[in-house]
Amino acid sequence: MATNSEVVSLIQNTLKFTNRDERVSRRFILNSLRTTAKTLISQKMLDRTLYRETNLFSKINCFDFKKDEVIKCPIIEFKRCDILMKSIHKLPEPVFSRLGAAIYEITSVDDSFELKLATPSQYRRNKNRKYKIDGEVTIYLGSDGYLYIPDNEVYSVNVTLLTLETDKLEQCSSCSFDKCLSIWEQEFICPDKLLEAVVDKTIQKLSITRNIVQDETPNNVERK
């Protein structure tokens, strides 16, 4: 896969941005690329083939939790828990589709067992089940972006997910990373078969943005 820097440079060279295009920064271009990629990946997720492309997924080792006050939890289904664990950090935003969040797996820190990802409504139904699965630990992604583990005292997990916010992975992990890359050295997360479409759509969008900026400075007079 190409790096963020390589894909952004491709856009800059195609549109021939100059110093007068300061409002269209490299970060703005990258965010535009990510927004477009997220839309196309979300559509592609519906056929489930992307889950076979493991190189698209990122793994956060040692994603830590702390005990949360049940009374303050915004998720009503968890207000009757004996123990509620809440992740210390928000999860880097996963790609979503109608199938839910693109979270491949969540495991214990030694990868010896897998936690079951579910929704709060599923938790409520499971609480009412007559028979429960021994040893099953369930985890939930809240609408606030945090992960929650009710009824089990778990302080750290590993999370494998499809996210375009790869620059946030390191700050979410309490384990040291082997190599610290700048955002521009990191890979641009996008299937090869979608990259051309992502670039083309982003160029179209930025061309419109560029024209708007130019119209704000008529007669080639640049604002101070």
Residue type, 11: I
Could you give the CA distance from residue 42 to residue 20 in angstroms, rounded to a whole number?
35
Over residues 6-62, the pLDDT tens digits come to 999 999 999 887 656 556 789 999 999 999 999 999 998 888 788 888 889 999 999
Could you give the CA distance from residue 94 to residue 110 in angstroms, rounded to a whole number?
23
Q: Please, which pLDDT band fits residue 93 given cuts at 50, 70 and 90?
A: very high
Over residues 135-191, the pLDDT tens digits come to 789 999 988 999 999 989 999 999 999 999 999 998 899 886 555 678 999 999 999
How high does pLDDT run on average in the chain?
Answer: 85
Residue 65: both structure tokens together: 């939790």
Could you give the CA distance from residue 143 to residue 94 in angstroms, rounded to a whole number?
12
How buried is residue 188: exposed, middle or buried, by Cβ count under 10 Å (0-12/13-18/19+)? buried
Residues paired with 158 in a beta bridge: 107
> What's the distance, Cα to Cα, between the start and end of the chain in Å?
40
For residue 218, pLDDT beyond 70: no
Nearest Cα to Cα of residue 189 among 77, 97, 121, 92? 92
CB atoms < 10 A from the CB of 143, how many?
Answer: 8
Nearest Cα to Cα of residue 33 among 201, 191, 167? 201
